[in-house]
């Protein structure tokens, strides 16, 4: 096992424990975002690039926006905190974030540099995709034919979650 995967796993475990034991909902959501990003990094390093991309786009992107939007809409914070009250903690958080970002950039660069010759092209070569009409057309065709039911179920679940968040927020204001 690669030492980079071990380090990403340790960072993910620390973020998961922080997510579980923090009292602030926004901090918990940000830690969950970190866990999802670290998981995408692990998927990318083991060669599952499609799953890593989906992990980043769907979960770390769309779902976390929904979570943070719901938390902010419900206004769950009971106390106000400002980063100016704790400049040492803010500087440490910025340094840690930059360190993790730098480490991930270095690890991904080294991984792709060392595994450049291991790439095996699949059935969708660039010529084949171009003959079908381009990336968007191929993706849309598979999404709206083969995976149509799954796509609609997920969109319905997201709609229900947004309606539930609005109903809960409205009940709080009434």
pLDDT in tens, 6-65: 888 999 999 999 888 888 778 888 888 899 999 988 988 888 888 888 888 888 888 888
Angle at 104 between CA 119 and CA 53, to 5 degrees: 55
pLDDT for residue 165 is more than 80: no
Q: Which fold has domain 1-77+101-107?
A: 1.20.120
Question: What per-residue confidence (pLDDT) applies to 148?
Answer: 77
pLDDT tens-digit series, residues 90-142: 788 888 888 888 887 887 788 777 776 666 666 767 777 778 777 777 777 77
**Whole-structure pTM over 0.85, yes or no?**
no
Q: What is the pLDDT of residue 162?
A: 79
CA distance 173 to 170: 5
Separation in Å, CA 124 to CA 35, 42, 48, 99, 170: 31, 24, 16, 37, 48
pLDDT value at residue 121 = 61
Report residue 13 as tokens: 């475990």
**Predicted local distance difference test score (pLDDT) of residue 85:** 76
Q: How far apart are the first and last CA of the chain?
A: 55
């Amino acid at each position: 096992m690669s030492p980079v995967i071990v380090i990403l796993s340790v960072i993910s475990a620390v973020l998961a424990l922080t997510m579980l034991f923090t009292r602030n909902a926004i901090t918990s959501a940000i830690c969950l975002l970190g866990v999802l990003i670290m998981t995408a990094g692990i998927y990318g390093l083991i060669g599952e690039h499609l799953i890593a991309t989906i992990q980043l786009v769907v979960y770390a992107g769309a779902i976390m926006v929904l979570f943070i939007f719901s938390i902010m809409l419900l206004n769950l914070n009971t106390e106000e905190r400002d980063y100016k009250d704790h400049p040492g903690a803010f500087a440490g958080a910025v340094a840690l974030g930059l360190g993790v970002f730098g480490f991930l950039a270095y690890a991904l660069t080294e991984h792709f540099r060392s595994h450049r010759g291991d790439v095996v092209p699949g059935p969708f070569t660039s010529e084949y995709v171009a003959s079908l009409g381009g990336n968007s057309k191929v993706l849309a065709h598979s999404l709206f034919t083969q995976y149509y039911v799954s796509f609609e179920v997920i969109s319905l679940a997201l709609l229900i979650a947004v309606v539930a968040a609005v109903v809960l927020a409205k009940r709080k204001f009434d």
